[in-house]
Structure 1
């Protein structure tokens, strides 16, 4: 009995022809096929006429559509299978010959285009090479198509190079379809269209640039606002810390006075005050240690330096006042005689300077904040004339005067 199908030995699928077997092999990579006397099923749905090739396909069709009636037309459609591969077309030999001849170099020539359209494009201001290229690639169809092609390809690097095509593809240019008057009108329309398109593009780019400028401006304003907020918070925190320090200093002095008063009464043999009449002393709340606030301005740095000097020498109030007074004298001399070098130069080894300022930790640092710097192997403190700043000296004098007169300065 002649074979009616091809069976795939890998998956068992039945195929009607060699072409189907080849497609199946390409899709699944199966290569084991054999001739079968079993015909491929042809089950046709009675309701919609859809053919199904297996029981699985009929089950799927029933699930999708609900159709359950199928007519078996397998025997009607069964035909012996042809196992021979279809012969290639006779034209293949000619194709091979053409391929071999195409490898030989051909003469390149300028393509023929509609001369009337070429003249019109040149009158519009386009170069001859550009006009020929546009007419060739737009198919010599119309002046509008050529002008549109030029607008779309005006940024091409070879737009003004003369196009060349093989001599075998040189075609006869089609005749123009418009009258000269219509072509002039069309050319004017194309020019206007190209001009409008360019204007719209420029407007669009300007809008984009304006949006970018607005965005950058908003970002700068927001950054400036955040910086101002941070600076305001920092100043408020410093002021609050100064008030708390002053409050604790007053409380400590008040407690010291109460203790001294009680000690004097004890030495004089007087009875102690009735605890009921003594106002309760509020306990000193220890300040939680936190990260120090870094002074931002020159005045704040000077104030912090003086506070550091007093706290490190709080047991010798006379020494601190002497250092403050000596620093103030140096600054007054410099401010009054800025051109006198002797007032802007201090010998570090000078005994009076060492006893009053040099040995006090923080004294030299304060002078450096005012503009002095060490020189000649750290033998002198010197303020160059170009470093003289009256505003800085005035600010330093104000801080020193406040430190001398304020009894609560740097107590804690």
Structure 2
């Protein structure tokens, strides 16, 4: 079916001709029109004969007059719409060439267009200049205050925004002859504008929500990647710790083997037997050296670590028949080192009374216990009554070394066997 009307894509209004569409465009600045197969309604009131072009108009007519009976004559008026722009008559061109007004040489009088005075007053109260307010109401079709404000916002950069619009007197008369919108019609248009603004806001909210969802997904991926990297690092640390424990176990086994060889040689000497042939192969100690080179232990002062390890080995060998006492001593020393490393500014963690019964029972009476604390930086003060670690001498590297050695001694079942 060919087009029978023109439809405004901005407000949805239907028009019977190009002239009506042009007039609507001049009043509202709408420019999006398309051919439509939907016919313009022609509802004629059976009581007074007034034609209504939409259901909204018929409803408003019913409210004003109480007339409820309408005859639908839309089909009678339907005809294909002509999209050709009407050409001006020849005498119109002559009038334009001569200055208008039918060849008299006189310009047609230009006047200020009629606008809704109530809306004009409200715009002036809001602070808009009178010329700008008149221009906004004229070009928005006197539809509503909101429509006028929106027009000002959209055209505030126009160079003539503050110039009073002028229209031909004949156009003003024609406009005055048009029926003005009733309060109900104005209210309906305002409702349409509000509904349009609400839908636009909902679409913007949905767009923002989609953007927020994309951002949440991106952050989630970054957190998962960070967690994966952290787990990889933790796995590598555990592997390094296990290798260090195996190295310590290997060193302990090697020392046991060497001790057995020495005991064997001593027994042969006491029995008057000749020593073993030096040419006989002996287990190489190279693996021990190799393990030290490939140790995964953190880099720390070697001499300090060896001294601490020797103190712990001495303590365990001196009390090898009392594993509970050795374990308690190791855990107590670990607690002292950990407290100082965690709270270096707290003096109570850096000062130990040597006469304390609990300290003496756990550390003081055991060979190597106080010496281990001295390697951590503690010093005897006040005539040997206290062990004290000055704040300026707190060395985190030394305390970390002490913690590592104590952990190895506690977890390694072969530590200090000799």
Bucket of the pairwise TM-score, normalised by the shorter protein? 0.3 to 0.5
TM-score calculated relative to the size of structure 2: 0.41
Q: TM-score, normalised by structure 1?
A: 0.41
